[in-house]
Structure 1
Amino acid sequence: MNQGSPNGDDDDDDDDDIQHVLDEALDIDFSDDLEDAGELELERLLLESTGTAIQTESTLLKKLALYPNGNFPISKYSLYSDPSWIIFKNEDGSVMRINFDSLSEPMTAIKKSIMYHLIPEFAPFAGIRAYSTSRGHSQKYSIITKYVFIDNHLTGDAESLSFITAKLLNNALDRAKDSVAFTHYHYLFMQIRLWISLSTQQLIPVEHRISVSATAIDTPERKKDVIGHFNGSVASWVPFKESDLKKMFEYASFWTEKAMAPLQKVAEFAQDQGYLNVKSKTLARYQTDVKLEKNLNLTIDETRIVEVKKTRREYESGFFWNYSWYSSAIKSLDSIRCAIYILVALVTGLRVSEIDILEFKHVILGKDGRYKLQVTRYKTSKDPNYKGDTTFIPIPKFVGKKIKEYEQLRKSLKTYREGYLFQSVVSTKKVNKRTSLRIEYITQKIEEELGIDRVHTHRFRKTIAEILINRNERNVDIIRLLFGHASYAMTLRYIGRNPYIVQSVAQAIEKNYIEEFMDIVSSVKNSSSSGEGAQRMLNKIAARPEAFSGKQLKVTIFTYVTHLLSSGEPLFIYRTAVGSYCVTTGLYSSPSLPPCLIHHKGIVKDALPDPLFCDPSCTHAVIVEKAQKALQDNVDFYQHMLTEAEANLSETSKAMLRQKIIDNSKHLERLKTNRSYQVIPTVDVQA
């Protein structure tokens, strides 16, 4: 275990630390990280459908007793009895609606009594916070309709519900698991748990309840199976939408760039005046305190950062003013904590368990002015129960600087406590165990304030990986701003020093390009390939055959991606046609353009390849064995054009067609002879 120097004086060892982690990563089971993320995501989903009810009695039953026809509101816009519910309206007038279309009367009544408990104001298990979540569950209700009701010919009346047994429900779950619709299994599990919970705790009408024990469904074996199945779904691998990423970046920028420094000045003023020494932080004055009001009230861009509340208090001989301000300052400090989390999650690629335990002292400023982060990994450590494995990774100067400013602000407002980076700024409870630190309180706040569903740490890793692979221009701008580099290439060279981001990129490529990469590596390895791109890849494999043998494909990908990112090279993989791929690491500018970009008019700058116009003559084309028929079709087509229309073609057009015939024929011959490249030792590319 490499502890390094806590003072950051061993900068010469940084590359050794990073290479140590990169080397160790080859032995890490990549599925561990995905399992962690999937389990966390599923646990949060299940929290919405079970647990100890925070209600002591049913609000729905009370309302139905008073209004049997359901003429009571479930929102400002709809009554319970309405054929559809509008549960929320956005500022732009768009609505979130829960529909009860195409259901029989008894089935509609059951869905209403269940959906009522999935609206934030009425949710008994405190897991529902957003109306969009309610709508999402409503749209998924058809799953329980299919597997429980329709498949078993149940009508939904009280008599038919009496036929619902543990065996029937478990059979329904088994059918959902085998469905081609991947999400049906875990959603049905959640819905059944919710229905059982509402029935057991007598929160829904008796005619809508089922008499099945939760322990007959929610067994350790079933839950483990659901989690395993869920981990393989795309749900835990969905990156943030561009609009969501923009929201979070603007939020983080506002609180760290605009709000933090002015709030620090407020804190310093309060310190100088002794306001923070008052236990309750409420200040009493016999007359208006103009100086206090002027220096503590703080508004930025119409957002209230600190608000002084002035309350008149009467007593026998007169009155005095109570000034309260501290709680609003702490609320803003909590928003800054969320902003710092967004930045750290985006630029480090750490797991939630690794971010949880970060302390301010782990952010180290070296003598060269560069910041690095001390990271301890317990999950993959040989000693996971005690010390873990410690190493250092670089973090951008911008992020390191903001963390240091945030640390000083917490000290100034007397909320530093045990010095954990993300511990609560509100609670005064001492943190005795690292396991008591919970990042999900931060992600829940981000969800609520920004209206983004399903915020968890793994999605930040996935988002950065997707940006690095696909390079959407606006998102790349965000990456450049985060890392403080003018060019994308400089950012990539920096990222190549962070093994955690490299690993997340490798995982993303594994998910997105598993079939393509297996095809490419297998074909190149077996010599059934053609093109300069194939030769370059073959050379990389031949240079380090030990890294491309005896490992599964995902480790092969990791090795290749590590090499590219460590060299500051972006990666672009795209299936261009049957049996051919574009594999390149460059951006292209005029006049040095590949064949696929030649057709562009005007000056081209920093462009990605355009696979729609791929030409086999390109040096970046990797032609594999599947391409033989397509290549032969191309030769026949160009030959036919040359023969049939020769009299009407210009000499330039004829020359172009002849060259295309030559290019396609050359690759075709190489594939047929299978002797173009040297055969290297067998490479295990198991999927």
Structure 2
Amino acid sequence: MNSSNSSTKDGDQDYKRSLIEEFESDVTEEATAGLEQMLLATQQVHRPNFSELILKLESSDGWFPVSDVSCYRDSVWRLDGPLHSTRISIPFDSQVYGGNELKRALSYYMLPENSLMGGVKSNRTSMVYSQDFGLVEKYLLVDNNLDASPNGLRLVSSRLVDQALDKIRDQDTASNYFGFYKIMKLWVLLSDQHLIPEHLRIDIPLDKVDVLERRKEIADSIKATLSTWVAFSEEDLGHLMEYALFWLEKVPPELKKIVPAINKLNSNSTRRRKVITNRDEALEKSFCVVIDGKKVMELNCAKQVHKKRADQFRYTWKANYAAALDQMRSALLILFALVTGARASELAPLSITDISNDKADGSGNYWLRIVRWKTADDPTYNGEIEYLPLPRFAAECAITYHDLGNVGRSSKRHWLFQSNRSDNTKTSLTPQMLSGIIQQLTEDLPVERIHLHRFRKTIAEILINQDERNLDLIRALFGHKTFKMTMQYIARNPAMVRAVAASIEHSYTSELHDVITQIKYGAYSGLVAQRINQQIQEKPADFEVGQLKISLLDFVSNLLVGGEPLFIRRTAVGTYCVTAEQFDLNNLPPCIQGRDFGGEIPRPDPTNCHYECRKIVVLEKARDSLEGNIKFYQRILDKTGANLPDRTRRDIEAKVASYHEHLKNLNATSLGRHNTDFVEVSAQQKVGPLRLVTTREI
């Protein structure tokens, strides 16, 4: 019996530590991917043959459009932003002589349509990059008593640039260090290639700025501060889902219509092409697919001229059809990454054979078979098989894509994320092969830093924050009517549990650690705080520095498996709302009593916190606030001639009483830390322990 218990305990510990390993591996991989994408912004992606900017300046004196509402010479460039977002602007308000002219020239090459360097996919990025000009003003020009006149710029040397870089490195942030390096490299390239007016150029060799040691130093500084746990913004998610739904909802029905034409072409001996002496307009029309003004598919027609016989026209369909299928493949990856929570190593080898349906039991539910690999390298480990619930929409999109992908093929393919442009039959796919899809999405969408780790974070962040617009998206993706149904879906999906648990643990790390540390070593008040303190006393090993993260992550995982949401918010200095309880109209906390939630799970409102609430945790830092509140409300109660309604007076008296109660508890628990005679919470007050493996005690 003891041996069995010990074995189970060791297994639990191994699982908990595997959660931490997976989380830390994700952070490391995401930091590396994010860093690589940021450094792409400093690489020149093409070299123009001439300067379009100089020609425009000479022909119009700068009064040419840079957007639909702004001209180059305007004091502010107003640029288009993503759908439903505010307009983006780049101001030119430099106080340095000649600064605005220089900033305009550099900013022109930061616009997506003119960019020489990688990473600029949207006007929002252009706006952010243009802000780096302020660093040039401060550290290169002003600090050296220079301006942006021709005489001033002639004095700009590689030595001054090095000094400025060192100064920013030592005195400023890593992002500004990178920003200054990036804009200086752009300025040097534009000067060297004569792409900006002569009087704005600087005479500095590129190898004096783009030095290997400097690049490594900048990369290390960025990596140390890079925020890795970042979900896609609402705007980013809008672009991703608009793309995904276009290629998965609108395109497939239209591609199905050309399948008979493909089969007809494929039935002759030439298979993928057709050679004729006269153009076949009817054939061309049958292959033309245009949706929302976007050409999705058409025949390629090549004319072959012959001297001794009639000219011929050769039609081919395979390349364009494969290109359309690859767009569907990219859309499918977006969908699967969002709804499964699976990692790159789990998504890459997916096959159509990994999707199954519960037809036997009549439910019709779809499941996705994935192979989960250990974080650590183990050549003898064959992986663990897990079955994840798959929303019907995602499953049916994958099946449709698979069917279309095998049209006109003699050998059938089954991999979901293999490129359709190649006929090679692969025996397996690796996570690195998904990089081609990510690259395609990066080129097609105005979304920065697209990589698979961020998909894992996005659904988790939506579930944590639960804002209505994104919850509507979840309902659409999962086919769920309520947030409760989504939580039940997650409870059945181990990969999503891990992804959401890690995200919640990361998001609440500082709050959880603050709460637990203060309760463990300082003063506290509140029923939840009492429960946490009891657990600390009963299982002190769970709250040691090295164990705490594992315990918290395990706790969050168990909440999610139980279908419970976790809510932790700072409400004021030293005060938190902490709950995993599912509220209904019969047990609403005071902050949301009387509100209509329209069928959704009610959530506390930390902006309307009440100190008499059973969910509040009050720590030592709140003492001054409590004492101030008592003085404020007591003056109102004691004010001579104050004619307060009876109900208002009772409410204020109840507030004051709750403040006094919390102060008394803070004094008692603070005294208990230094007094061995301190008595723990009385039996009447005890409300059960806060076990880190349960879901309803908080």
CA distance in 1, matches of 2:75, 2:269: 55
Cα offset for 1:41? 2.8
Residue aligned with 2:583, SS: coil
| Cα distance change on mapping 1:295 and 1:547 into 2, 3 Å | farther
Alignment partner, residue 394 of structure 1: 388
CA distance in 2, matches of 1:415, 1:101: 64
Cα offset for 1:522? 1.3
Maintained 8 Å contact 1:39/1:227: no
CA distance in 2, matches of 1:432, 1:524: 55
Cα offset for 1:373? 4.0
Maintained 8 Å contact 1:396/1:484: no
Residue identity opposite 1:585 in structure 2: A
Alignment partner, residue 43 of structure 1: 36
Residue identity opposite 1:33 in structure 2: D
Maintained 8 Å contact 2:388/2:494: no
| Cα distance change on mapping 1:510 and 1:217 into 2, 3 Å | farther
Alignment partner, residue 332 of structure 1: 324
Instruction: Determine if the alignment matches structure 1 residue 150 to structure 2 residue 146.
Output: no
CA distance in 1, matches of 2:644, 2:70: 74
| Cα distance change on mapping 1:326 and 1:586 into 2, 3 Å | farther
Residue identity opposite 1:673 in structure 2: A
Residue identity opposite 2:661 in structure 1: K
Alignment partner, residue 59 of structure 1: 50
Residue identity opposite 1:246 in structure 2: G
Residue identity opposite 1:344 in structure 2: F
Maintained 8 Å contact 2:522/2:620: no
Query: Cα deviation per residue 1:431-474 (whole Å; 9 max; x = unaligned)?
Result: 79967945454345445545334433333233222211111122
Maintained 8 Å contact 1:588/1:604: no
Instruction: Determine if the alignment matches structure 1 residue 360 to structure 2 residue 351.
Output: yes
CA distance in 1, matches of 2:217, 2:427: 31
Maintained 8 Å contact 1:193/1:218: no
Instruction: Determine if the alignment matches structure 1 residue 229 to structure 2 residue 222.
Output: yes
CA distance in 2, matches of 1:383, 1:224: 33
Residue aligned with 1:183, SS: helix
Alignment partner, residue 608 of structure 2: 613
CA distance in 2, matches of 1:637, 1:113: 58
Q: 2:165 aligns with which of 156, 160, 173?
A: 173
CA distance in 2, matches of 1:33, 1:92: 31
CA distance in 1, matches of 2:268, 2:400: 19
Instruction: Determine if the alignment matches structure 1 residue 476 to structure 2 residue 471.
Output: yes
Residue identity opposite 2:40 in structure 1: L
Cα offset for 1:70? 6.3
CA distance in 2, matches of 1:653, 1:152: 65
Cα offset for 1:618? 1.6
Alignment partner, residue 658 of structure 2: 663
Instruction: Determine if the alignment matches structure 1 residue 410 to structure 2 residue 398.
Output: no
Maintained 8 Å contact 2:244/2:332: yes
Cα offset for 1:505? 3.7
Matches within 5 A, 1:44-443: 44-51=37-44, 54-55=46-47, 58-60=49-51, 63=54, 67=58, 82=73, 100-102=92-94, 107-108=99-100, 110-125=102-117, 127-157=119-149, 160-161=152-153, 164=156, 168-177=160-169, 183-198=175-190, 208-212=201-205, 214=207, 218-220=211-213, 222-230=215-223, 232-234=225-227, 236-264=228-256, 266-267=258-259, 270-271=262-263, 274=266, 278=270, 280-282=272-274, 284=276, 288=280, 292=283, 296-298=287-289, 304-307=295-298, 325-352=317-344, 355=347, 357-360=348-351, 363-365=354-356, 370-375=366-371, 377=373, 380-383=375-378, 391-392=385-386, 394-398=388-392, 399-412=394-407, 414=409, 420-426=415-421, 437=432, 439-443=434-438
Cα offset for 1:171? 3.8
Aligned length, in residue pairs: 659
Cα offset for 1:491? 2.0
Maintained 8 Å contact 1:87/1:131: no
Residue identity opposite 2:368 in structure 1: K
CA distance in 2, matches of 1:462, 1:602: 26
| Cα distance change on mapping 1:115 and 1:617 into 2, 3 Å | closer
Residue identity opposite 1:60 in structure 2: S
317-326 or 259-268, which deviates more: 317-326
Maintained 8 Å contact 1:496/1:562: no
| Cα distance change on mapping 1:73 and 1:393 into 2, 3 Å | farther
Residue identity opposite 2:181 in structure 1: F
Alignment partner, residue 490 of structure 1: 485
Residue aligned with 1:59, SS: coil
Residue aligned with 1:574, SS: strand
390-399 or 277-286, which deviates more: 277-286
| Cα distance change on mapping 1:602 and 1:239 into 2, 3 Å | closer
Alignment partner, residue 9 of structure 1: none
Query: Cα deviation per residue 1:564-602 (whole Å; 9 max; x = unaligned)?
Result: 212211121111122221112245342432111125479
Q: Which runs of 5+ in 1 are unaligned?
A: 1-15
Identity of aligned residues (%): 30
CA distance in 2, matches of 1:460, 1:331: 24
Query: Cα deviation per residue 1:174-212 (whole Å; 9 max; x = unaligned)?
Result: 433455666312212322333344456666667623435
Matches within 5 A, 1:538-549: 538=533, 546-549=541-544
Query: Cα deviation per residue 1:107-135 (whole Å; 9 max; x = unaligned)?
Result: 45544554444344444445544444334
Cα offset for 1:343? 0.8
Cα offset for 1:338? 2.0
CA distance in 1, matches of 2:458, 2:575: 28
Alignment partner, residue 533 of structure 1: 528
Cα offset for 1:285? 7.3
Maintained 8 Å contact 1:646/1:654: no
Residue identity opposite 1:624 in structure 2: L
Q: Which runs of 5+ in 2 are unaligned?
A: 1-8, 670-678, 693-698
Alignment partner, residue 10 of structure 1: none
| Cα distance change on mapping 1:221 and 1:473 into 2, 3 Å | same
Residue aligned with 2:546, SS: coil
| Cα distance change on mapping 1:164 and 1:230 into 2, 3 Å | farther
CA distance in 1, matches of 2:472, 2:528: 29
Residue identity opposite 1:44 in structure 2: Q
Maintained 8 Å contact 1:61/1:204: no
132-141 or 72-81, which deviates more: 72-81
Maintained 8 Å contact 1:130/1:451: yes
Maintained 8 Å contact 2:19/2:498: no
Residue aligned with 1:622, SS: strand
| Cα distance change on mapping 1:588 and 1:285 into 2, 3 Å | farther
Residue identity opposite 1:363 in structure 2: D
| Cα distance change on mapping 1:603 and 1:288 into 2, 3 Å | closer
Alignment partner, residue 516 of structure 2: 521
CA distance in 2, matches of 1:293, 1:570: 55
Maintained 8 Å contact 1:507/1:554: no
Alignment partner, residue 623 of structure 1: 618
Residue identity opposite 1:623 in structure 2: V
